[in-house]
Amino acid sequence: MNNITAAITSVHGYVPEKKLTNADLEKMVDTNDEWIVSRTGIKERRIVSKGQALSDLGAEVVKGICKKRGISPKEIDMIIVGTITADYRFPSASNIICDKVGATNAWGFDVNAACSGFLFTLETGKQFIENESAQKVIVIGGDIMSSIVNYKDRTTCILFGDGAGGVLLEPDTEGYGIKDSILKVDGSGRNSLVQKIGGSKEPVTKENAESEGMYMFQDGQTVFKHAVRNMADVSAEIMKKNNLSSEDVAYLVPHQANLRIIDATTRRMGLDKDKVMINIQKYGNTTSGTIPLCLWEWEDKLKKGDNIVLAAFGGGFTWGAIYIKWAYDTKK
Ligand code: UT7
């Protein structure tokens, strides 16, 4: 076995300019700012403008990473995208992003793991670096949730937003990068968070095209219960497996679905609140986008050698945690 690890060497994020605030939502459905903030922690989200697709967000992420790292898109070997809202059912968003940025020597694909999309994609990208079949892999997590949210359903439309982030993975021989991961699925939860129509089980027809099944559905309480337990459990599990105490962990990067779920995970890990990346108030739940968007916003604060735990829970069900040793200090 070689001693190559997959290190994150650059991060970038992109959110659309347009804001959808709680006050805006009060005019659309029977809700109010106090309920949304106290139950979720969300104050506003970003929403794409007409015609903006997931590949547009992803292309901005790749361009930003290349600029920061000082590399040409032609040097990229792979682009892997975690998303449930690609431009089309096919071709993949990865294909289109490669074309838009001029990554003419890259190949790639999309990964569907809902809110755990970035974790599953990161673990996938890691394999290609560690087995030395790729030197530069860009891993993106992003979603345009506004494309599948029902803005008449107050139980879901207040939660989600649009955005994408990504990281560059490169080989490291000094032990920095992705150290460990625990990823899980439980397909028996498939009906609790799902877009029912549009797949091979229930294709779009003239009869169902305007029904609610065209949008995402969530049984909030069931998902909440599973999320609180599983995200906290898996985060504690990865700490124990790697002999990490709460003092050893520099940051928890939690999926941003609900502040109450994040708080439960923070308590379980025994962390102080200032060690937890939280931007849910600004962006809501961007599904695969939440974790890389946090890394992007906190990049300046991260120091080489920091122990970082990423954790997520989402539709499927899918969940997991990844332990990273941060590989660089950001030049201020
Ligand atoms: O990222 C993927 C994973 N997703 C998650 O992790 C999300 C998990 N679920 C949640 O975050 C929470 O379940 C929600 C935020 C979706 C809902 O919070 P909750 O505390 O579980 O509320 P609830 O569903 O138990 O509803 C409580 C009450 C209900 O009214 P009654 O029956 O008590 O009269 C709802 O009808 O709140 C009502 N309600 C609302 N009221 C004002 C539901 N949505 C709203 C709303 N505004 N937007």
State which ligand 1 atom lies nearest to the alpha carbon of 227. 6
Q: Is 104 domain-assigned?
A: yes
> Which residues on adjacent β-strands are paired with residue 142?
164
Q: Are residues 146 and 223 in the same domain?
A: no
Per the domain annotation, does 299 fall within a domain? Answer: yes
Q: Are 216 and 148 in contact (CB under 8 A)?
A: yes
Residues 120 and 160 in one domain: yes
Indicate the DSSP class of residue 285. B
The answer to whether 12 is a known catalytic residue is no
141-190 confidence digits (pLDDT tens): 999 999 999 999 999 999 999 999 999 999 999 999 999 999 999 999 99
pLDDT the model gives residue 32 = 98
The one catalytic residue in 230, 258, 279, 285 is 285
Cα(218) to centroid of ligand 1, in Å?
A: 10
Asked if residue 195 and residue 110 are part of one domain, the reply reads: no
Give the angle subtended at the CA of 279 by the CAs of 277 and 284, to the nearest 5°: 135
230 lines ligand 1 (CB under 6 A): no
Contacts of 173 (CB under 8 A, 6+ apart): 3, 4, 5
Q: Is 39 in the pocket of ligand 1 (CB under 6 A)?
A: yes
At which of 175, 203, 220 does a domain end? 175
Residue 319 belongs to a domain with what CATH number?
3.40.47.10
Domain housing 200:
179-325
pLDDT digits (tens, 9 = 90+) for 218-235: 999 999 999 999 999 999
Q: Does residue 304 belong to any structural domain of this protein?
A: yes
How many whole angstroms separate alpha carbon 34 and alpha carbon 39? Answer: 8
Of 145, 175, 205, the residue at which a domain comes to its end is 175
Cβ of 224 closer than 6 Å to ligand 1, yes or no, is yes
**pLDDT of 83-130, one tens digit each?**
999 999 999 999 999 999 999 999 999 999 999 999 999 999 999 999
Cα–Cα distance measured from residue 326 to residue 31, given in angstroms and rounded to the nearest whole number: 41
Residue 72, amino acid: S
Query: Considering the domain boundaries, does residue 330 fall inside one?
Result: no
Per-residue pLDDT tens over the stretch 35-55:
999 999 999 999 999 999 999
Q: Of the residues 175, 204, 233, which one is the last residue of a structural domain? A: 175
pLDDT at site 108: 98
Question: Does residue 173 line the site of ligand 1, with CB under 6 A?
Answer: no
Cβ neighbours of 59 (radius 10 Å): 25
Residues 235 and 130 in one domain: no
Is 295 found in the same domain as 163? Answer: no
Looking at residue 19, what DSSP letter applies?
A: E
State the pLDDT at residue 2. Answer: 76
For the stretch 286-320, pLDDT in tens is: 999 999 999 999 999 999 999 999 999 999 999 99
Say if residue 332's pLDDT is above 70: no
Yes or no: say if 253 and 291 are a contact pair by the CB < 8 Å rule. yes
Q: Say if residue 186 is in the same domain as residue 127.
A: no
CA distance 91 to 99: 12
Catalytic residue among 255, 258, 279, 307: 255
Residues 202 and 158 in one domain: no
Q: Is residue 331 part of a domain?
A: no
- Is 238 domain-assigned? yes
Domain presence at residue 332:
no
Same domain for 153 and 247?
no
- pLDDT mean across residues, the chain: 97
Contacts of 206 (CB under 8 A, 6+ apart): none
Active site residue 255: yes
Residue with tokens 């547009």: 56
Pairing of strands 19-21, 137-144: unpaired
**Same domain membership, residue 247 and residue 106:** no
What is the structure's pLDDT at 330? 87
Least Cα distance to 87 among 108, 62, 49, 57 occurs for: 57
Whole-number Å distance between alpha carbons of 148 and 227: 21
59 and 150 in a common domain: yes
33 lines ligand 1 (CB under 6 A): no
- Ligand 1 geometric centre to CA of 41 (Å): 12
Among candidate residues 247, 222, 246, the one with its CA nearest the CA of residue 235: 246
11 and 140 in a single domain? The answer is yes
Q: Answer whether residue 125 is part of any domain.
A: yes
Quote the number of domains for the chain. 2
The protein residue with its alpha carbon nearest to ligand 1, atom 2, reads: 314
Judge residue 184's burial from the number of C-beta atoms within 10 Å of its C-beta, 0-12 exposed, 13-18 middle, 19 or more buried: middle
Ligand 1 pocket: which of 20, 35, 43, 155 to mutate (most atoms <8 Å of CB)? 155
Give yes or no: residues 165 and 195 share one domain: no
